[in-house]
Structure 1
Amino acid sequence: MAGAILTTDRAGTVLFAVAAIALTALSLHGLLVRPRLSADPRGVRIRTATGKHDLHWPEVTTRVRTTRRLGRTTETLEIEAGEQLFVFGWLELGADPRDVLDTLTALRP
């Protein structure tokens, strides 16, 4: 933000302002929607920007998907419930998606 104030370049000021707004929005989203996923023996609770989704185990399918893109392998946890698909990466989970899948499998009755 200091760069936007100290520079005399108008295009640079706009770019700094856009970057600052985007970082602020992402930070607020991360703060308000945490924790994104919680589970117990009854089912899972998923928090999104639009609200909470309480899903019972019989309606939930979980899997880890591995993708390779631009020379990098990434894993995501996918939770499917009917028409809804929720995708979580390491950043949203705070842990490896495979470890989270193991925990969810252990909780599932």
Structure 2
Amino acid sequence: MDEITAAQQWRVPASLPAAKLIGAALLVALGLLFANGDAVRLVLAVLAAAVLAGWAVRDLVAPIRLAVDPTGLTIAHGFAGRRRLPWSAIEAITVDRRPRMGLTTEILEIDTGESLHLFGRYDLGATPDEVATTLRAARRS
């Protein structure tokens, strides 16, 4: 693989925040439809919609979850922050595969020894295997 000379980044697919916002609107609509005068049902539906909308806002405010350049990685940290990890701080880059409910889940794990950073397919917009291969190649160069 070619040496990485410029930054490469992985981001949340553009359709994901839209789907979350549509889901939040549907939750409110269903809450209004099925509340039947029960304030608790309506409040629960609105709270669930607010959480989903907040999750969508994070995707819109900080869509880039992971970036690599010749000096190291930049990862999403917190709601909309970033954290810089030099290559010397990274102990391992692995992909964890687990079968669940008939499907195999893949998670990219970036281990610094002090912290573990996890990224799924919908965080990266690519398969964790592809990203891990690119990161390992960048680390070697």
Q: TM-score higher than 0.5 here?
A: yes
> Partner residue of 1:105?
136
Does the 8 A contact of 1:33 with 1:49 survive in 2? no
Q: Assess if the C-alpha contact under 8 Å between 1:4 and 1:12 holds in 2.
A: yes
The equivalent of 1:29 in structure 2 is 58
Which structure has more relative contact order (CA 8 Å, sep 6+)? It is 2
Q: 65, 77, 97: which is aligned to 1:48?
A: 77
Aligned length: 109
* Aligned-partner Cα distance in 1 for 2:93–2:78: 21
State, as a whole percentage, how many aligned pairs show the same letter: 37
Q: How much does 1:105 deviate?
A: 1.7
Consecutive unaligned residues of structure 2, counting only runs of 5 or more, are 1-27
2: distance between equivalents of 1:76 and 1:2?
Answer: 34
SS of the aligned residue for 2:136 comes to: helix
The residue type paired with residue 38 of structure 1 is A
- In 1, Cα distance between equivalents of 2:58 and 2:31: 23
Q: Deviations over 1:67-91 (max 9, x none)?
A: 1123321111000112110000001
The structure whose residues are more often strand, as a share, is 1
Provide structure 1 residue ranges, at least 5 long, that are not aligned to the other structure: none
**TM-score, L = length of structure 2:** 0.68
TM-score in terms of structure 1 length: 0.86
Deviates more, 1:47-56 or 1:6-15: 6-15
Q: Secondary structure at the match of 1:36?
A: strand
Match of 1:8 in 2: 36
CA deviation vs aligned residue, 1:34-68 (integer Å, no higher than 9, x gap): 20100011100011126321111122121111111
1:15 is displaced (CA, Å) by 3.1
**Counterpart contact for 1:45–1:54, Cα < 8 Å:** yes
Whether contact under 8 Å (1:79, 1:86) holds in the other structure is yes
